[in-house]
């Protein structure tokens, strides 16, 4: 069609990602940016109302380091490093900055 009317879909979105692999180290950075978009909400009488969702940018990073001939890996995965406040759907919150870390191991090598 010649007009734009998709709910929750931005007219413009952009992403860039880069990574580096060393002998025992891996790191990846991901930047995503989404433009303004519209969604449907409801007023006090439960009538549908078009709501504007603001544009936002997210920055994520992942890193891991391998030990003992790559049998043991330590990793950290950080999401929303800029602690951006945004909504993917009207009326629903999303997570701020959060990090997940852990160990992975391989018994057979």
Report the residue count for the chain: 109
Give the residue among 15, 99, 25, 28 at the shortest CA–CA distance from 67.
Answer: 25
Q: pLDDT per residue over 65-103, tens digit each?
A: 999 888 899 999 999 999 999 999 988 889 999 999 999
Neighbours of 91 (CB within 10 A): 9
- The structure's pTM equals 0.82
């Amino acid at each position: 069609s010649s007009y734009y009317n998709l709910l929750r879909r931005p007219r413009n979105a952009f992403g860039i990602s880069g990574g580096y692999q060393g002998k025992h180290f891996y790191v990846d950075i991901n930047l995503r940016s989404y433009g303004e978009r519209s969604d449907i909400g409801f007023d006090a009488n439960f009538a549908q109302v078009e709501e504007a969702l603001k544009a936002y940018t997210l920055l994520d990073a992942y890193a891991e380091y391998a030990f003992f001939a790559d049998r043991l890996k330590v990793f950290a995965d950080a999401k929303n490093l800029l602690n951006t406040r945004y909504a993917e759907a009207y009326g629903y919150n999303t997570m701020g900055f959060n990090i997940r870390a852990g160990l992975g191991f391989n018994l057979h090598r």
